Chain A
Amino acid sequence: MATRTGFRQAMAELHTWAGLIPGWVLFAIFLTGSLSYFRPEISLWTRPELPVAGLPAPAQVLARAQDRLQQIGAGASRWRIELPQPHWPVAEVYVWRDVPVPGDARPRFVHETLDPRTGRPAAARASFGGDFFYYFHFDLHLPWRLGRFIAGFAAMAMLVAIVSGVIIHRRIFADFFTFRPGKGQRSWLDAHNLTGVVALPYHLMIAYTGLVTLMTLYLPWGVEAAYRDRARFFAEAGQSYVPPPAAGVAAPLVPIDGMLDRVQRHWPGEAAGRVDVYWPGDAQARIVYTVDDATRLSHLADRLVFDGASGAPLRDGTDAVSWPARTERVMYGLHLGQFGGPLLHFLFFLSGLLGTVMVGSGLVLWCVKRRDRHAGAPDAGTRWAEALNLAVIIGLPVAVAGFFWANRLLPAALGNRAFLEMLGFYLTWVLCGLHAGLRLRQVSRFRAWSEQSAAAAIAFLLLPVLNAITTDAHLGRSLPRGDWGRAGVDLAMLAAGLAFAGLALYLHRRAAATAARPAPAVP
């Protein structure tokens, strides 16, 4: 082993590069991942036409969904009904036709959002809503699973950056309470340490469990070595249910809601989250109830299986799942963070934002260090990094606002509108990137950052106003109605707008102060 300082120096170098190279991607993953904690709320905000009040009883919803599925999903290999929940008060139905039938031109996959009061497709604008940010945070909307591999590399690098960061950190406890603002490089280091250390267990957990959610994509070799049939592995690992093959003999499906009493007795104090029907209309049909995962830490979804032709309960259960597989399911559930109620949910969101700031401050710190070291003109690498920092750290939030603006400004009945919303997000982001690249050459850093922060502030502060002008689901209605999901999104936009306004004002003052001083050789 090299000397102790040599070791520390090597770890510092590792920390710098493992953090910087995937840093911009990590920032985007952290921010959109944090937004994903409120995926249903965002989806509700982006589809203001969806009903919120008056959830019918689950039995009624199931009966209506079954009626609908008989119409659109006859002869399918599988149906799914997702029951309405308080934070997502509509039913989702899915149809899969995995076994192709020659001459059958019906689509292989159908998804409809049903109004639970009528059992008919809910009339609402097309939008990816919260799903947009959720998929972005691990898929980056790239083809060929490329985004998932990039996200995996970023998560792995973050894991290494966390471990090496802890090693180089001498005063881990003292830094809990240390922040010295307005001192340049020292302040950025404090901000990086503070946000890193305060939520350290969360950061470690979220990076590791993120890798675990896609582990058989990143490391398929264990499954390949031990199993010929991948589906069997997923069944034995407690990740999926494998039904018996279809009998090929027609038998009418019993009413799905017929066993609801039995299900509710089995999960006292909890609710069924979804119902899958395998081979509907076949003598070997299976009805599988899965418990709602909002109340459970483990994602080893407890299920009850019934014979679809007779309605009789069948022995199945997940009792045989081994402790390593159970551990993996807990890690999966930890990453999703749907258990534990609203307070924990909010703390997870807050920790995610702390992680976002940790990554962002680390990126800025790298540039500040480089600039302090080379007092003259910054090299090309530093200039690129500075432009990327502004384009991602402030530009991405502006693009998020751009997504919501597009959602309210595009006509509700427009064709392809969900795609155009996405385009709104990316176009806003590109504009921010151009602004960062151009303005950083023309004006001082403080000025350029202040301009883009002001844009973010205006975009977010005006969103609730735009919402009030264009829809009926604004704060004046959502608050008295108790529509907390939509009201929460509006209030969060106001909070984000105020935060960016404060930042813009602070940066504006710094820019003025810098300009008043005798000008340095190079801005």
Chain B
Amino acid sequence: MTKRNGAGRPRPFASRTAAAIGGGYLLACCWTVALSLLWPADAEGGRAAGVVAGTVSAFAIYAAAAIWAFAAPDARRAWLGILGPAAGLALMAAWGAG
């Protein structure tokens, strides 16, 4: 767990909060775009199926990222666990678009 310095909030608290809010949103965006572009275009419903599936489920991904930001053993791993998958999804989306 994080250590408290004096009476203030524990230092990594700000970093974890930023990872939860900012990092989580970034991950949710990458997830949405990746599903929107990688969903089989010839499937029933066309591209709207992937866009809706990606957007609806993104809020669960966001929540999971926020939980992870505080569950991770330290702030560094909190960020890694969120930005890593986001980068992977962004790469896959770029591959799907290209």
Contacts and interface: CB of A to CB of B under 8 A. Distances in A.
Interface of A: 1-2, 6-7, 9-11, 13-14, 17-18, 156, 159-160, 163-164, 167, 208, 211-212, 215-216, 219, 221-223, 225-227, 233, 236-238, 320-325, 327-328, 331
Given A159-B59, A222-B50, 13 more contacts: A2-B71, A10-B1, A11-B70, A159-B62, A159-B63, A215-B56, A222-B32, A222-B33, A222-B54, A225-B97, A233-B51, A324-B52, A325-B45
B52 A328 contact: yes
A384 B64 CA distance: 31
Contacts, number: 121
B1 A2 contact: yes
B51 A18 contact: no
B53 interface: yes
Contacts of B67: 11, 14, 160, 163-164, 167
A226 B36 CA distance: 6
Contacts of A7: 71
A225 B71 contact: no
A324 B71 contact: no
B29 interface: yes
Contacts of B52: 237, 322, 324-325, 327-328
7 contacts: A156-B59, A156-B63, A222-B32, A222-B54, A225-B93, A324-B53, A327-B52
Contacts of B73: 1-2
Interface string B83-98: 0000000000100010
A10 B66 CA distance: 12
B66 A160 contact: yes
B14 to A, nearest CB: 11
Which 8 residue pairs are nearest across A and B when measured between Cβ atoms?
A322-B45, A322-B49, A236-B48, A222-B36, A324-B53, A222-B32, A14-B70, A237-B48
B56 A14 contact: no
Interface string B20-54: 10000000110011011100000111111111111
Contact of A223 (B28, B49, B51): B51
B59 A236 contact: no
Contacts of B36: 221-223, 225-226
Residue from B52, B56, B70 whose CB has the most chain A CB atoms within 10 Å: B52
